[in-house]
Amino acid sequence: MDINSIVELKPRPEIPAFAAGDTIKASIKVVEGDKERIQAFQGVVIRVKKGGINSSFTVRKVASGVGVERTFFFQSPRLEKVEVIRHGKVRRAKLYYLRGLSERAGRIKEKTRKLPAELKVAATENTATVAVPPVPTPETPPAATT
């Protein structure tokens, strides 16, 4: 019997779907003494580990020329929310090679979203049915009303 069969995992709607290469902003509850505040950590996801209760993701950012990595657990009560800033275009699942690159060399291109063929056809049909009234030009006087 393992821990995954004992613990029921509840879906977290405040965590959207993301993958390695995406730039995200993770908001975490930080406790300092008796005060609690929310701190944001924005960076590139270099790995996503799936495994039920042990699922986690690692985010890397460069602060003052120093690389900083932080690992977050999906099921942690300290993880407040996650926002996807941009989707990166990468060909690997683990981006550990970013550790050896400078900040500028480690930039990731943004993924462009392509529309499916059905949506393209619907978009062209909708624009074709909209009629735009002609704008009067200075050469042709506006029609006189009687």
Number of H helices, E strands in the chain: 2, 5
Q: Determine the Cα–Cα distance for residues 77 and 75; give it in Å rounded to an integer.
A: 6
Per the model's pLDDT, the better-predicted residue between 92 and 2 turns out to be: 92
- Quote the CA–CA distance of 144 and 135 in Å, as a whole number: 15
- Mean pLDDT of the residues in the chain: 80
- Calculate mean pLDDT across residues 2-7: 67
The answer to whether the Cα torsion of 40, 41, 47, 52 is positive or negative is: negative
Q: Quote the CA–CA distance of 146 and 144 in Å, as a whole number.
A: 6
Q: Tell me, what's the pLDDT at 37? A: 93
Q: pTM value?
A: 0.67
pLDDT of residue 102: 75
How does pLDDT run across 18-57, given as a tens digit for each residue? Answer: 888 889 999 999 999 999 999 999 999 999 888 778 888 9
